[in-house]
Amino acid sequence: MRAYLMFKDRDFAVNAPMCYGSSALSADLELRHVVDKMAGGDEFIRESCEAALFTPLVSAEEISYRQENLRDALRNPQRVRLLYGILVETRERQKKSLNFLSSSVGLSDSLNSAVGLLRIFTETLTSLRSFADDSLKAFSSEGFSGLMKMLKTELDDEFLAQVRAHLKELREQEDMLISARLGPAGCSTGYVLRRKAKAGFFSRFRLGPSFAIKEDDAEAMNDMDNRLDRAICDTVSVLSRVVRYIEDFFSMMRRELAFYIGCMNLDEFLRGAGAPTCIPEILPQSRESRAWHGLYDISLVIMRGAAVTGNELETKDKRLYIITGANQGGKSTFLRSFGQAQLMAQCGMPVGAESFSVPIRDGIFTHFKKEEDASMKSGKLDEEMDRMNEIAGRLRRGSLVIFNESFSSTNEREGSEIHRQISKALAENGVEVFSVSHLYTYSAAFKGDALTQFLRAERLDGGARTFKIVPGEPLETAFGEDIYRELFGEGA
């Protein structure tokens, strides 16, 4: 049995290696706040959400499959939470049960514990079957409806009745029936634990020769325990495999459900804060068009607890985006909002926008300006170049690189030339670039370039910032004097 809620044909590998630069992506795009809100204090949900977020998909079919399941989950939040709750409760009950796989307990104790766990699991399987009966018509996605159909088919009444009957028989151990045959040198061999329910079988042995062991005969009792262990060894082995199989199924289903629970947690919070969300439109990797409406920084909404200014854009046949404009005008915030949405879109998650249409990118990389670090063994420019070299070795046509004030640790002329050569080489080789920069010489070098889209932080005539990013070519000033006058007054 498989849940198949994250992929159509395989399990969700939560321990799979994360994409290159996952720690940089998390820090630069402030994704820690996003993951925290998705997890809601549940570490299990956090692990699933991080695993999904930092292993972005590059298949339109896989993204569409996950999006379809997400829509179903958002339409049925109570049902999905109830299903997740069944599995959480089972795990808590399992923790309280004796670990029958421990090598420190005897086989008899292992049998008792295995039967106890299977009793818990059978109750869960019965609950899952009832849930599927009640919820099949509520779900329409391939993933969730497929799971409901599988539960109904595999956990039919006949199967559950047989499981309960076997467990009842295994629990009644006072009259355990064991058979053996005579082996070499008069030693018994071929011990087998027999079913007592078979008609006439138990009575045949009951009417045969018998004897009782005295309770104070320790040697005889120990001998009987050894014989019992030999008889139940195969049974315990089979039960342990069954328990592991069911446990793995429950764990994987819970793991995959946890991602959708996290998405619902985030979506409910954002909508409650008055911030819109949408399931994005995914375009083929070959497209170089982008469009969004009301795109905003989710981490900023989480920190403020209220909606923030969104941005609009619609472009075609552009590969290099250069964002300039007034200091403290929202450029870095916009860059984070875009990076968050691109990554989340490729994970099948909802994004922070009214609408969002983007092509798939084969690798998402960030190169943000870093603060001085005492541990650095070389200058800041050397450190920036080293990071760029690491990224360059992993780039492919169709990748995306997001720069934020990169190569600004040196003078204007040198920094602009470095940045220009890198941006030009990337764009010419099919790598999409988003770059926030205050280096005017760098920005101006791309004026008139057909592949370049200029964006600018909006500034009103009086110097006020709207925190919106609008189309506009770079200016020679970043209006730092506006901030100076705001801090020290007009006469300063």
Q: Which residue has the higher pLDDT, 478 or 180?
A: 180
Residue 59 phi/psi, 5° resolution?
-105, 120
194 pLDDT exceeds 80? no
Closest listed residue to residue 228, CA positions, set 109, 312, 140, 351? 109
Q: Is the pLDDT of residue 189 over 50?
A: yes
Per-residue pLDDT of 214-223, as tens digits, reads: 777 677 667 6
**Mean pLDDT value across residues 41-55:** 96
- Residue 113's pLDDT is 75
What does the pLDDT look like over 385-399, one tens digit per residue? 999 999 999 999 999
Type of residue at 107: L
| pLDDT confidence of residue 101 | 46
The answer to whether 98 and 105 have CB atoms below 8 angstroms apart is yes
pLDDT confidence of residue 288? 92
Q: What is the pLDDT of residue 217?
A: 64
What's the number of CA atoms in the CB half-sphere (13 Å) around residue 346?
A: 26
104 pLDDT exceeds 60? no
Q: For residue 489, name the pLDDT band (cuts at 50, 70, 90).
A: low
- pLDDT band for position 484 (cuts 50, 70, 90): very low
What are the DSSP calls for 89-155, one per residue?
HHHHHHHHS--TT-TTS-HHHHHHHHHHHHHHHHHHHHHHHHHHHHHGGG--SHHHHHHHHHHHHHT
Place 255 in a pLDDT band, splitting at 50, 70 and 90.
very high
Residue 115 pLDDT greater than 50, yes or no: yes
- Read off the pLDDT of residues 137-181 as tens digits, 9 standing for 90 and up: 999 999 999 999 999 999 998 988 888 887 777 765 556 666 777
Q: What share of the chain has pLDDT > 70, as a percent?
A: 81
324 residue type, one letter: T
Of 149, 3, 150, 144, the closest CA to residue 68 belongs to: 144
Q: Which two tokens stand for residue 336?
A: 């984070």
Least confident range from 96-100, 379-383, 421-425, 432-436: namely 96-100
pLDDT band at 475 (very low <50, low <70, confident <90, very high): confident
Q: What is the pLDDT of residue 100?
A: 46
pTM exceeds 0.75, yes or no? yes
Distance CA 46, CA 40 (A): 8
Structure confidence at residue 464 (pLDDT): 76
The arrangement of secondary structure in 281-488, i.e. its CATH architecture, is 3-Layer(aba) Sandwich (3.40)
Task: Give the whole-angstrom CA distance, residue 412 versus residue 254.
Answer: 53
- Backbone dihedral angles phi then psi of residue 365, each to the nearest 5 degrees: -130, 145
Residue 384 has pLDDT above 90, yes or no: yes
In the predicted model, what is the mean pLDDT of the chain? Answer: 86
Predicted local confidence at residue 103, as pLDDT: 47
Higher pLDDT, 366 or 411: 366
Instruction: Identify each DSSP E strand in 60-108 by its residue range.
Output: none
- Specify whether the CB–CB gap between 320 and 302 falls below 8 A: no
- Give me the residue spans of the domains in the chain: 22-154+246-272, 281-488
Predicted confidence (pLDDT) at residue 452 exceeds the cutoff of 90: yes
